[in-house]
Amino acid sequence: MTQRGVLDRRTLLRGAAGLAAFCGLNAASAACGGRKDAVRIATDDRWRQFAGTTLNFISENTAPTAAIAANLRPFTELTGINVNIVTLELTALVQKVALDLAGGESQYHVIYADPYQVLAPYSKGLVDLRELAADSSLPGLEGGFADFIPTQLDAAGRFGGGDEIFALPYDCPTMVWQYRADLFAKHHDRMADDLGFDPTPGAERTWEEYFRIARWFNDNTDDVAYGTGHQAKQHDSLQCDFSNVLWAFGGDYFDHGDRLGRYGTVEPGDCRLDTDPAIEAAQFYRRLLSIADPSSRTWDWNGLAPALTSGRIAMCPNWHEYAAGNEQAMPGKFGYAPLPRGTARSANIYGGTGIAINGNTLPNERRAAWLFVNWATAPRTQLANLASDAGGGTPTRESVYALPEVRAAEQRPSDLPNILTAPAVRKAWQPENIGLRPKIPMWNECDTAIYTQLSKMLAGDLSPADAMRETTARINRITDRGWSA
């Protein structure tokens, strides 16, 4: 087991490679070890040719999966295929997927492929979806791959230097500036006079101005206890929160961070957290946390969201899909904007994931799985998920955002509260604004090194410069070990 409970991927994939040579990872034969393929029915209806098949979909417990699980009937009626959905915490999901791929099995036909913990280390065990999209015996992909938001298709669907597409974008949580619009309106003129600038949130604001706005709330009003809060627990959330500032100040984890985040690699080169921009970002982040709600160091995203909706803080960076909860708690009182800019840009971390097909599937299983992946990411399904009482997340397709009913919902009153964030996230997803973590097989270990040293910095045990240098040394040791599969 690794530090965070994930099975050693190198060991697993060595086993997978050996078994693949025996069974045939591409499942060209009808069975491996006695497995039987799904039955294909002679029919002119391309959606119903695998009626009677049962598929297993393993997913993190996310909003789109909750919405689909609550209403699978449309898919079953369309295809005659039954789908069992297994939802797990991400670490447990990664363990089960790793074992399934290594064992040459396809217990899980459809996989929630986190870009960093599944796609990067296991892309060789996933199907290139272009092959299925081009199969004339199967329903085509409505709108084609071009209908997906381009930065998301790359970040969630690709790995390495090739043209393969291993996953279709399925969810797209992205950090944006969430704030109490009612309090900003109430205090706007006074803040502007005191601060000397327009405090209205937006990408034209700077992180230094964000700091000054937060301190103004601390010192000048009893409407909230603190001006800002953060997800600064010693956890992945701390790395995510800090990354927005790191990129905004021109720092990055490795060279060529944009390409590394979009396409990934097994050899990222030397860590760059010891550079001046990264150290400047760390210095600012420590200063920002010094005036934030002190409970920030105990919060991840699930702890931060209630602090905002309970009226404890005036603003925070958080995942945009918390908007629905905000609007339920305090209807009409929130606003959403891209995160502030630093000395380099506005950077908004993207946390989306795609869904993929297990490469161990047999030919007809694979085709049946494509029907589900195709349907689950189709425009009509994404629209239904968006309106679902069970959750639903936000769309990953351009065409859904262009629908008249979705456009109308960007303004209050809105029946689709997550779409109130659409103007902010559209800007956040632009190539110059999106924040992408390094898509490398060893990112899980690097992530742990980052948030561990940041936590020491926030506790006062390390200076920002020492925290960045120590993290750099640790990450270089991790990546120097290399990766083999």
pLDDT at 389: 83
Helix (H) or strand (E) holding 175: strand 175-180
- Tokens 């150290």, residue located: 279
pLDDT at 160: 92
Give the integer Cα–Cα distance in Å for 337 and 277: 24
Residue 62, pLDDT above cutoff 60: yes
In the chain, the domains with their CATH numbers are 9-172+351-402 (3.40.190.10), 175-349+433-480 (3.40.190.10)
Give the integer Cα–Cα distance in Å for 220 and 237: 29
**Token reading at 459:** 């506790």
Residue 57, pLDDT above cutoff 90: yes
pLDDT at 482: 80
pLDDT at 35: 85
- Please give the full DSSP string across 19-33, using - where no structure is assigned: HHHHH-TT--SS-ST
Average pLDDT over residues 71-75: 96
Confidence of residue 161 (pLDDT cuts 50, 70, 90): confident
Average pLDDT over residues 67-82: 96
pLDDT at 19: 36
Residue 254, pLDDT above cutoff 90: yes
Average pLDDT score over the chain = 92
Average pLDDT over residues 2-10: 34
Other Cβ atoms within 10 Å of 3 Cβ, number: 11
Q: What is the pLDDT of residues 388-429, one digit of tens each?
A: 887 768 999 999 999 999 999 999 999 999 999 999 999 999
Average pLDDT over residues 255-264: 96
pLDDT at 484: 58
Average pLDDT over residues 280-304: 97
Residue 477, pLDDT above cutoff 80: yes
Q: Are 469 and 274 in contact (CB under 8 A)?
A: yes
